[in-house]
Amino acid sequence: MIRISEVHLDRRAEELVGDVLRSGRLAQGPMVAAFEAAFADIAGTAHAVAVNNGTTALVAALEAVGVGPGDEVITTPFTFVATVNAILERGALVRLVDIRPDDFTIDVAAVEAALTPHTRAVMPVHLYGSCADMLSLTKLVEREGAGIRIVEDAAQAHGAAIGGRAAGSFGVGCFSFYATKNLTTGEGGMVTTDDDEVADRLRLLRNQGMQQRYDYVLPGHNYRMTELQAAVGLAQITHLSAATDQRRRNAARLTAALADIEGLVLPTEGPGRHHVYHQYTVRLDEQARVGRDTLATELATKGIETGVYYPRPVHAYPCYRDHPDVLATAPLSEAEQAARQVLSLPIHPWLSDSDLNQISTAIHEVLS
């Protein structure tokens, strides 16, 4: 079976984890600090604050920029549910707006239409490893004044960029190191920012609001990362850019091999973007010979695992549709259509040439 995601850790990871085990210091310490410093380089920010997962990264980021009850946060329903759960956890209202059909990221014109006097933050999602239109979004938010913050859900976009600026450097950036992400610590997260005050608040929030030992300055959480997680992350971070290059080469090969199949829309990088291909996601439109689910089933019988990210937009689930703090009033038809049409193919750096050939041959057999 050609898997949709694979994790291979090298000897360096074993060595660093061994160092932690022998040190006897397992909770947040020097390995976490080293991982943070290395990650700040990738996001191009002054600060990177490690936390225990990507969801708590989002919650802490929202809290650090002051989002709470009575505030509104604008995001899209075509995302992993953690984006929306983080806003709800802050007691804020979620305003869902549609995505762009070309790259599945937030439609900035729809954001503009959804602004209210209560809007405190906009959360673009850099879906599949490609940045949302941060240039337009930054302009819009600047025009609206200082009251609105950008909190980027960059969980899938380690090292992605647009206009020469890295994901996570436009507002407060939130990353995940979950098992299947481009950089993994099993579970883990990171918040990136250039804002010294936000960084200070994040460091307090992740550690019970404690400034000095037993000196509490605000009610916080336990969102700390362990030394073991940081060791696994630090060992991989040196290979991240090579692994991303391999993903990009794999994407170029699939794109060349799958061009001109009727009804099959391939991902594009888009102007000024550096796509890190967390997923290589195709769309099957009405012209395709079979539907998305049939293609997925056929590929599975040919030994190729695929993924649907995501099979339903968030507002299609009753627990969100009926939630008093989730507003899905704007048209969300692009998100709904994407959920019916998208399919992610294996793109990870461990694919061989023959795996890539097998994938493209199988797709031609089903669709051509």
Query: Closest CB to ligand PLP among 65 and 86?
Result: 86
Cα distance between the two ends of the chain? 23
- Identify the residue among 49, 73, 82, 366 touching ligand PLP (CB under 6 A): 82
| Those residues with Cβ within 8 angstroms of residue 14's Cβ, 6 or more apart along the chain or in another chain | none
Stretch that binds ligand PLP, among 7-15, 116-124, 151-159, 241-249 (CB under 6 A): 151-159
DSSP 46: S
Interaction between residue 54 and ligand PLP (CB under 6 A): yes
Q: Give the Cα separation of 110 and 75 in Å (integer).
A: 10
Residue 44, phi-psi category: left (phi > 0), alpha (psi -120 to 50), beta (remainder): left
User: Which uninterrupted H or E stretch holds 54?
Assistant: helix 54-64
Tokens encoding 308: 């649907």
- Identify the residue among 45, 79, 279, 358 touching ligand PLP (CB under 6 A): 79
CB of 180 to ligand PLP, least distance (A): 8
CB of 354 to ligand PLP, least distance (A): 29
Interaction between residue 176 and ligand PLP (CB under 6 A): yes
Q: How many CB atoms lie within 10 A of CB 215?
A: 8
Tokens encoding 50: 């490690």
CB of 10 to ligand PLP, least distance (A): 22
CB of 319 to ligand PLP, least distance (A): 18
The pattern of x and - marking residues 184 through 223 that bind ligand PLP according to CB under 6 A reads -----x----------------------------------
Stretch that binds ligand PLP, among 100-108, 149-157, 214-222, 284-292 (CB under 6 A): 149-157
Q: How many CB atoms lie within 10 A of CB 69?
A: 9
Per the omega criterion (within 30 degrees of 0), is the bond before 277 cis?
no
Can you name the residues that pair with 282 across neighbouring β-strands? 343
Stretch that binds ligand PLP, among 16-24, 35-43, 79-87, 140-148 (CB under 6 A): 79-87
| Those residues with Cβ within 8 angstroms of residue 311's Cβ, 6 or more apart along the chain or in another chain | 339
Q: Give the Cα separation of 138 and 111 in Å (integer).
A: 12
CB of 312 to ligand PLP, least distance (A): 15
Interaction between residue 277 and ligand PLP (CB under 6 A): no
Q: Tell me which residue has tokens 């609001």.
A: 209
Strand intervals (E) in the chain: 47-51, 72-75, 93-96, 119-122, 149-153, 161-162, 165-166, 172-176, 189-193, 210-212, 215-216, 264-265, 273-274, 280-284, 326-327, 342-345
Interaction between residue 52 and ligand PLP (CB under 6 A): no
CB of 196 to ligand PLP, least distance (A): 25
Interaction between residue 156 and ligand PLP (CB under 6 A): yes
Q: Give the Cα separation of 21 and 42 in Å (integer).
A: 27
- Identify the residue among 83, 226, 244, 341 touching ligand PLP (CB under 6 A): 83
CB of 360 to ligand PLP, least distance (A): 26
Alpha helices in 287-332 (DSSP H): 292-301, 318-321
- Identify the residue among 35, 39, 80, 280 touching ligand PLP (CB under 6 A): 80
Stretch that binds ligand PLP, among 89-97, 152-160, 193-201, 251-259 (CB under 6 A): 152-160
- Contacts to ligand PLP from residues 101-140, by CB under 6 A: 125
Query: Closest CB to ligand PLP among 168 and 189?
Result: 189
Q: List C-alpha distances in Å: 35 to 9, 42, 232, 254.
A: 16, 11, 9, 33
Interaction between residue 264 and ligand PLP (CB under 6 A): no
Interaction between residue 267 and ligand PLP (CB under 6 A): no
DSSP 22: H
| Count of residues interacting with ligand PLP (CB under 6 A) | 14
Query: Closest CB to ligand PLP among 31 and 155?
Result: 155
Burial class of residue 68 (count of CB atoms within 10 Å of its CB; 0-12, 13-18, 19+): exposed
Residues in contact with ligand PLP by the rule CB under 6 A: 53-55, 79-80, 82-83, 125, 153, 155-156, 176, 178, 189
